[in-house]
């Protein structure tokens, strides 16, 4: 890892809330109200499928890749002067449906990551096409890798290869498996020597599945900086570049990491 990256602190805002089932306009309006409370930040993180809830009705709910939610995210990013990210249901140019994370910048750029690991226990693999590429973005010198929900269970896909300062997970992670969520997130931080930010939803969806929230930010030792619990709201924290660099210099486990490639 480069010894001097990143060089500036990074401000995060996590939005944990209930979602209106299958109602993109209502969810955009709700999040717009929450965004009005954010204040100064560098990165705003919304949950997985934040416009609909976690739904298998891809053919009914999908938006074009540059549809109304993408335009809305661009507007919010420009207004806030911050990146806005979260996932939604998209129909791409070749007609396939994707659980797609959008990364909207204040400058109007729109990048994306398509969820690689589709949750087969809910039949997600039958309604969506998997992603094939990881996304690595840079913000204020921070190398950030966004991932989606079930990706958390797969350490190879999450593994940093001397290239990641912040792992970011957006999710609709059900309450019955919250113990897994709360154990796997610290593991990803510790094994990658990086910060982890994870945003989940609360409430129940249209299928009656409950969500406990537990959105959180962890440091490079898996220690919590933010723990949202089951509360709704906007949760802020600032990641320290100096503390991250100092820890990696003091405990350079990455020098002994195994090399590997992904198919």
Tokens for 209, please give them: 């599945």
Kindly list the distances between the CA atom of residue 57 and the CA atoms of 48, 63, 127, 131, 191, in Å, as whole numbers in the listed order.
15, 12, 8, 18, 36
- For β-strands 233-239 and 43-45, DSSP reports them as unpaired
Catalytic pick among 57, 107, 126, 149: 149
* 194 given a catalytic annotation: no
Q: What is the DSSP string of 18-49?
A: ---TT-HHHHHHHHHHHHTT--S-SEEE--TT
* 115 given a catalytic annotation: yes
Count the neighbouring beta carbons within 10 Å of the beta carbon of residue 153: 14
Tokens for 249, please give them: 């210099």
Catalytic pick among 32, 107, 109, 115: 115
Catalytic pick among 48, 63, 124, 194: 48
| Gap between the Cα atoms of 91 and 95, Å rounded | 6
| Gap between the Cα atoms of 21 and 52, Å rounded | 5
* 140 given a catalytic annotation: no
| Gap between the Cα atoms of 118 and 149, Å rounded | 9
- Residues serving a catalytic function are 48, 115, 149
């Amino acid at each position: 890892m480069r010894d001097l990256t990143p060089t500036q602190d990074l401000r995060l805002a996590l939005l944990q809330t209930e979602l209106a089932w299958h109602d993109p306009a209502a969810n955009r309006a709700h999040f717009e109200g929450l965004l009005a409370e954010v204040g100064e930040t560098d990165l705003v993180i919304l949950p997985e499928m934040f416009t609909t809830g976690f739904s298998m009705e891809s053919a009914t709910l999908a938006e074009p890749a540059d549809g109304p939610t993408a335009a809305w995210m661009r507007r919010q990013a420009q207004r806030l002067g911050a990146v806005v990210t979260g996932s939604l249901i998209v129909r791409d140019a070749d007609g396939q449906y994707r659980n797609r994370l959008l990364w909207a910048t204040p400058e109007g750029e729109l990048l994306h990551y398509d969820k690689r690991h589709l949750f087969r226990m809910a039949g997600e693999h039958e309604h969506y096409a998997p992603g094939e590429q990881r996304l690595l973005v840079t913000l204020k010198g921070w190398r950030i890798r966004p991932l989606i929900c079930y990706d958390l269970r797969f350490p190879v896909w999450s593994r940093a290869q001397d290239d990641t300062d912040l792992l970011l997970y957006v999710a609709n992670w059900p309450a019955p498996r919250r113990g897994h969520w709360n154990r796997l997130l610290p593991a990803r931080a510790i094994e990658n020597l990086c910060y982890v930010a994870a945003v989940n939803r609360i409430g129940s969806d249209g299928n009656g599945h409950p969500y406990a929230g537990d959105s959180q930010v962890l440091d490079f030792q898996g220690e919590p900086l933010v723990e949202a619990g089951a509360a709704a709201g906007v949760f802020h924290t600032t990641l320290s570049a100096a503390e991250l660099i100092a820890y990696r210099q003091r405990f350079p486990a990455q020098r002994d990491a195994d090399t590997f490639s992904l198919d």
